[in-house]
Structure 1
Amino acid sequence: MEKTKAARKPAATAKAEWWRGAVIYQIYPRSFQDVNGDGVGDLQGITRHLPYVAALGVDAIWLSPFFTSPQADMGYDVSDYCDVDPLFGTLADFDALVKEAHRLGLKVIIDQVLSHSSDQHPWFKESRASRSNPKADWYVWADPRPDGTAPNNWLSVFGGPAWEWDGVRKQYYMHNFLASQPDLNFHNPQVQAALLDAVRFWLERGVDGFRLDTVNYYFHDKELRNNPPHRHQDGDAAGLDAPDVNPYGMQEHLHDKTQPENIGFLQKLRALLDKYEARTTVGEVGDGARSLKTVAAYTAGGDKLHMCYTFDLLGPDFTPGHIRDCVTAFAKSVKDGWICWAFSNHDVTRHVSRFAQGDDDLAPVAKLSISILASLRGSICLYQGEELGLPEAELAFEDLRDPYGIRFWPSFKGRDGCRTPMPWEKSRKHGGFSTVRPWLPVPEAHLPHSVDAQEKNKASVLAHYRDTLSFRKTHAAMVDGTMHFLEVEEDVLAFLREENGEKLFFLFNMRNGPQTVALPEHLSIKEVLPMPGMRGVLDEGKVRLEALDGFCATA
C-alpha cells in the first residue's frame, strides 16, 4: 500500500467522517438479550447492555434487521420497512435505544434490506394480484419460455432457480434468495422513491447510518440474459459468494446483479444522506472475483457509498500472505474509497473456529485476531460474542432455524452456529440470555466464555479486546494512518502505519510456534510500545516472537 502525505482534518470534517477508522459492533437482535421472556432477544435487551458495548471502546453499533417480518429469513424478509416487529418491541423501544446509545457516545447503524422484500409485504400482495394494478411493475416479473420453464438460467443463492411461478399472474417472479423474498424492480423509479422514503423515515428517527444488505443485487439485466458458466481460475474468489456445495457458484453472475444502473441509485441514496449531518453507509458486496472492482466503483468520488466490506477476510485463510494480498489489492483497486474489515459476522463460521488449527487453544487465536484487525487501515466491524472468544456452536439438525443450512444439510450446516445467544452469566440457565428455552440453544461449551466469567479476569479475551481498542484510540496512526507492508525474512505480517508524524511498526507471528525476525535494515526503532497482550522482545536488531504473538514500536 503506497504511503501518502497525511494532513490533519479540520474538526468539522473529522466529526462528519466519524466512520473513517471507526470500530463498529454488530448486534444480532434475536440473540443478544431476551427481556420479555419469549426466548428471542429484543430491543429492550439491547438497550440494557449498551453500557457493556460502550465499555468495549467501540464507536458504533450495527443492528441486524428488527423490522416487521414473517421471519422466514430471520428478518431479512421485510414486510414493513417503517415499523418494528412485535417480536423485538415497538418504535418507542427503538427510540429509547437510540437515545441511550447517543448518551453513551455510540452511533447507531441499522440494516437496510432494499434489494427484496417479503412476499407478505403489501407491495408484493398488490403486485401479484394482476398485471395491470398500480404496483404491477414493482417486482421483477417475466413470462415463461414456450415450454413453461423459467425465463432464464439465473440461480438463487439459497438453492434452485431464482424464479418462482405465480398462478394468478401466470408469470414467474425473481428471487435471489428465498422464494418468499421477491426482488424489487429497481428499474421502476417509483420503487426507488418508496425505498428512499423508508431510509428517510429512519434518518428522521436519528439513526447515524445504514448497513446495506446485498448492495450490488439491486438491479437486474432488463433483457434477462442467461449467465455464462463460471470460468475457474487460480486464485479466483468466486466461491466466496456461496459454499462449494451450492451450484450458485457455477455461474458468472454477469446479469443478475452488479448492473451499471446501480451507480445512479447509490448517488440518489448518498444525496439523501448528505442532507443530514454526519451520516454514513456501509455496503455489503458479494461479487466473487469482481468484489474489489465493485467496491471501487461504489465508493469512488465521494458521491455514493462511504465504505463497503467484502468477504475477503471472512474465509478460512489466516496467513500473513492472505492479509497482505487482500489489503494490497484493495489499495490498488480503490483509490479514494474506504473499506470496512471484519473476521466474523452473522453469515459465516466464527473466526476463532475457522482460524484455529486442530486442538489449538482458542484464546490466543482470538487475541491475535483482534490485534491484527485493529491495526489494519480501514474501519473494522466486530460481531457480538467474538470479544468473548466464542467458537462456532455445534448444533443438531433439529435445532436449525436457518433455511440456508436446512436446504444444504449436511454438506453445509448453515449460519445458525454463529447466531446462538450471547452467554452473559456462566451459572444461569441459558447463560442468562433468557428465562425460557431460547430460539437457538446456548451451547454448554459457551458458558465458560460468558461475560461474567471474563469481566474481572485481566488475562481474558474480553479484557484483551478492551485494552486493544483503547490502545488503538490513543494512536492516530492506527485509526486513519497510511499503511505500508515491509518485506522480512520470516513468514510474518510486517507493516508501518503513519499519521501526522507518528510512525508505528507492527510485527505479527501467525504461526503456532516461535519465530525470530530480523528488522529491515532501513528501519530504526525509537521506542517499543506496550501493545496489549503482545510479548515480542527486541534484541540487537531482531525481534523474538512467541507463537501467535506480536510486536509494536515507534519508528
Structure 2
Amino acid sequence: MNEEWWKNAVIYQVYPKSFLDTNNDGIGDLKGIDTKLNYLKELGVDALWISPIYLSPQIDNGYDIADYRKIDPMFGNNKDLEQLIKDAHRKNIRIIMDMVANHTSDKSVWFEESCKSKNNYFSDFYIWKDPKSDGSKPNNWGSNFGGSAWTYDDNRKQYYLHYYGKQQPDLNWENPKVRQVIYDVMRYWKAHGVDGWRMDVITSISKNQEFPNNPNPHQLKYVVGNQNNGPRMHEFIHEMNQEVFKPFSMMSVGEAPDSKSKDARLLVEPDREELNMIFTFEHMHVDRKPGDVNGRWAIQPVDVVQLKRTLANWQNTLDGHGWNALYFENHDRARTPSRWGNDKNYRYESATAFATILHGLKGTPFVYQGEEIGMTNPEFELKDYEDIELRTNYDKLVRKEKTISEADFLKAARKISRDNARTPMQWDSSENAGFTKGDPWFKLNPNYKNLNVSRDLNSDKSVFKYYQKLIELRHKENILKDGKFKLLLPDDKSIFIYTRTLGADEWVVVANLSDKLQQVDVLSKYSDYKTIISNYESEKLKILRPYEARILKK
C-alpha cells in the first residue's frame, strides 16, 4: 500500500448529521453514507473524512465526546461503522475519522470522576485551578464561544479550563495517562480499519503552565488568545506520531487555527515526524476586518490580493518542506459561492472558478459535502441558526457588549456562520430534498427544489461533472502533484493566475474572481496553449467573463 497515498488523493468530508437519513428520524446516519458510496466513487474521491460520530450530548455537534469508543445511537452503532469501512475499502475509498483530543464532553466518565475529588485516577485528567484570593477566576482567558474559559465546580471548589463551551472541558496533556488513553482510542479504531485522522484543534493541546493573563488592548473582561502553539505542542504531537501515526501508517491532518506558513513547516516537515498536513485558517480571514473587536463577525468584501498572497506564501514556504491541505469549505466554513462569489447570477461559475484555483495548487484538495454541486448559504433569520458559536457570540457582542448591531450581525451570519454549511444535503427535489422522510434536525435551504444532486447531474452546467474532471486531472497528471508553483499578477484585484511547471511541461491556471469582464493581457503569451478545462463553453483569448476559469497546457 502506498504510504503517501494522500499526495495523489482528493478527500471528501461528510458531516453525517446532514448527509442522508435512512431510518427517518431526521438525522443523517452511517447507513446513509454507506448508501451513497457509489455516488462518491463516481465523483472520484479517494477517502472520506467523517466528522465526529462518537457518543455525545451534541452541545457542539459531536465535538463534545462522552465516549470515544462508542458510536452515538443517532448515527447507528459500531457495527454500522465497521460495515461502512469494509464497503468503502472494497471501492478503494479510505476512511478518516475526526479525533477531538483537546477536550471531552462534561458528560464523559473521565470528567465526572475528575469532579469528585482531587485524589482519584481521573483527578488530573483536566486542568483545574484554585480561585484567586478574592474568589475570582484564575486569569482573563476567554472561551472561543464567548465568556470566560473558566467554570467553577462546587464540588472541587476549583475552576476548570475550557477553550470552547463550558460543557467541553480541556484535557490536561501534561498528564502522561491522558496522552496514553487518547493514543489507545486511536489504536482501537485502527484495529477496526480506520486509515487516518483529522485532528481537531490539535495545536491547542499544550497550555502555558504559567497561565498568564492575555494581552488586553480593548480592555475586555475576557480575552481569547494564547490558545495555540503552546510550549510542549511539538513534543506531544511527535509522541503521538511515534505511538500511532508511524507504526500504523495512518495519515494525519491537523486543524491549526493560528498557524502561519513558517509554523506549518515545523508541524509537517517529514523529518520531524509530526503531522502529514495541517489546515490553515489564514486564507479564510480575507473577508474579515483585521484587528476588529468583533473578530470574525466584522466582515468585509473578499480581498482577492490577500487571498492570492496567502495561498502563494503557503505554496512557496512548504515547497520541499511538507505538504499543503487545500480547502475553501468545511463544516466550520460557509459556502464559497455565497461567501466570496455571486450565488445569485453566477452560482455555477463562482463554484467552479474557486474550485479550479484550489485544485490546481500543490497539496491535497478537500471537498465538503454539497460543495460538489455548488450548494449555497441559506440566508436564515437569527432564530433559525443552531450553532453554539453563533448564539454565544450574538449574546456577547450584540446584547452585552453592544459592539455590533443586530442587523450587521445577521448580515455577517448569512455570510460566514458555520451553520451555512450544516443544512441537510440536497439530493433531489422531493420533500426535504431526499435527505429524510422524517422531520429534519435542521432547516433545509429553501432553494433545494432547484439546486440538488439529481438536477445538477442532468444540467448543462453541472458543478459535479466539473469537479469530476478536476479530480480526474489530479489522479492522472503528475504536474499537479509535483509541479513548481509561480504566482503571476500578484497585485491584480480580480484575477488569480499562476503556473505549474514540471520539466518541459507548463500549465496556466487562471480565474476571474469578480462579476465584471476583465482583460488579462498576459494571456496572449499563452495563445498557443491548449485548454484542458474551462467553465465557459467558448473562450475569448484575453477577456475573462464573470468568474470564468481555465486551465491551459503548453
Superposition TM-score, scaled by structure 2 size: 0.88
Give the conservation status (yes or no) of the 8 Å contact 2:357–2:510: no
Equivalent of 2:441 in 428, 439, 450: 439
Deviations 1:500-542 (A, max 9, x none): 5432122222232223322379x66653123142557475xxx
Match of residue 323 from structure 1: 307
Superposition TM-score, scaled by structure 1 size: 0.88
For the pair 1:76 / 2:66, whether they are aligned, the reply is no
Match of residue 102 from structure 2: 115
Give the conservation status (yes or no) of the 8 Å contact 1:535–1:545: no
Match of residue 246 from structure 2: 274
Deviations 1:202-225 (A, max 9, x none): 111111111110011111111211
CA pair 247-368 structure 1, distance change in 2 beyond 3 A = farther
For the residues of structure 1 that align with 2:344 and 2:452, how far apart are their CA atoms? 21
Tell me the SS of whatever aligns to 1:505: strand
For the residues of structure 2 that align with 1:147 and 1:40, how far apart are their CA atoms? 47
Shift of 1:321: 1.9
- List gaps (5 residues or longer) in structure 1: 1-11, 233-245
For the pair 1:200 / 2:157, whether they are aligned, the reply is no
CA pair 436-358 structure 1, distance change in 2 beyond 3 A = closer
Give the conservation status (yes or no) of the 8 Å contact 2:124–2:175: yes
Equivalent of 1:530 in 521, 525, 532: 532
For the residues of structure 2 that align with 1:552 and 1:45, how far apart are their CA atoms? 35
For the pair 1:392 / 2:389, whether they are aligned, the reply is no
Match of residue 242 from structure 1: none
Give the superposed CA RMSD: 2.4
Tell me the SS of whatever aligns to 1:41: coil
For the pair 1:153 / 2:140, whether they are aligned, the reply is yes
Equivalent of 2:157 in 170, 175, 188: 170
Give the conservation status (yes or no) of the 8 Å contact 1:314–1:344: no
For the residues of structure 1 that align with 2:445 and 2:518, how far apart are their CA atoms? 36
Shift of 1:309: 0.9
Q: Answer 1 or 2: which has greater helix percent.
A: 2
AA in 2 matched with 1:312: E
For the residues of structure 2 that align with 1:247 and 1:313, how far apart are their CA atoms? 29
Give the conservation status (yes or no) of the 8 Å contact 1:536–1:550: no
For the residues of structure 1 that align with 2:446 and 2:540, how far apart are their CA atoms? 42
Give the conservation status (yes or no) of the 8 Å contact 2:204–2:229: yes
Give the conservation status (yes or no) of the 8 Å contact 1:536–1:545: no
For the pair 1:34 / 2:3, whether they are aligned, the reply is no
Shift of 1:333: 4.0
For the residues of structure 1 that align with 2:240 and 2:303, how far apart are their CA atoms? 37
For the pair 1:314 / 2:314, whether they are aligned, the reply is no
For the pair 1:554 / 2:526, whether they are aligned, the reply is no
Shift of 1:297: 1.9
Q: How does 1:38-437 map to 2 (within 5 A)?
A: 38-229=25-216, 251=224, 253-254=225-226, 256-271=227-242, 272-277=244-249, 279-287=250-258, 290-300=259-269, 301-315=271-285, 316=287, 318=302, 320-334=304-318, 336-357=321-342, 359-409=344-394, 410=406, 411=409, 413=413, 414-426=417-429, 428-437=430-439
CA pair 496-333 structure 1, distance change in 2 beyond 3 A = closer
Tell me the SS of whatever aligns to 1:530: strand
CA pair 138-294 structure 1, distance change in 2 beyond 3 A = same
Give the conservation status (yes or no) of the 8 Å contact 2:283–2:311: no
| Greater displacement, 489-498 / 48-57 | 489-498
For the residues of structure 2 that align with 1:73 and 1:340, how far apart are their CA atoms? 24
CA pair 370-355 structure 1, distance change in 2 beyond 3 A = same
Q: How does 1:436-515 map to 2 (within 5 A)?
A: 436-487=438-489, 491-499=494-502, 501-515=504-518
Shift of 1:358: 8.3
Give the conservation status (yes or no) of the 8 Å contact 2:140–2:221: no
Give the conservation status (yes or no) of the 8 Å contact 2:331–2:418: yes
For the residues of structure 2 that align with 1:476 and 1:319, how far apart are their CA atoms? 31
AA in 2 matched with 1:420: T
For the residues of structure 2 that align with 1:520 and 1:326, how far apart are their CA atoms? 23
- List gaps (5 residues or longer) in structure 2: 288-300, 395-405
How many residue pairs get aligned? The number is 518
